[in-house]
Amino acid sequence: MAKKFDFTPAPGRVIVKPLEEEEKTTAGGIVIPDSAKERPSLGEVIAAGEGRLLDNGQRVEVFVKPGMKVLYGKFSGNEFKYGGVEYLILREDDIMAWQS
């Protein structure tokens, strides 16, 4: 389960810690360096803002909670570093699938 995070995302936003893939090796045994690896698209939700506000004034509840694993687009969101750890802040709409 995710630990307490010092920031609360804006409404409709989610903070995700990308989960790194295991080190990749080619069939010939060559290790692929970090610089050639693809950006992760799987992460763990660390914090979720309150739901986004609709035009009619109602708030739509965020469908993910801290600790859930999510799939998101490879080029979605904005990266930032906090406490030496890299995070990603996504719009709720950028999440394509989740696992409780």
CATH classification number, 13-99, choose in 3.30.70.20, 3.40.50.11440, 3.40.50.1970, 2.30.33.40? 2.30.33.40
How do the domains of the chain map onto residue ranges? 13-99
According to the model, what pLDDT value does residue 1 have? 43
Q: Output helix, strand, coil percentages for the chain, rounded to the nearest 5.
A: 5, 40, 55
C-alpha 35/C-alpha 46 separation (Å) is 25
Q: Would you state the pLDDT for residue 25?
A: 59
Q: How high is the pLDDT of residue 62?
A: 86
> How is residue 76 written in tokens?
């979605």
- pTM value? 0.75
Mean pLDDT, the chain cut into blocks of 10 residues (100 residues total): 71 91 63 59 92 86 92 90 92 89
**Tokens read off for 29:** 């045994």
**Nearest CA to 100 among 72, 71, 69, 79?**
69
pLDDT at residue 27 in the model: 67
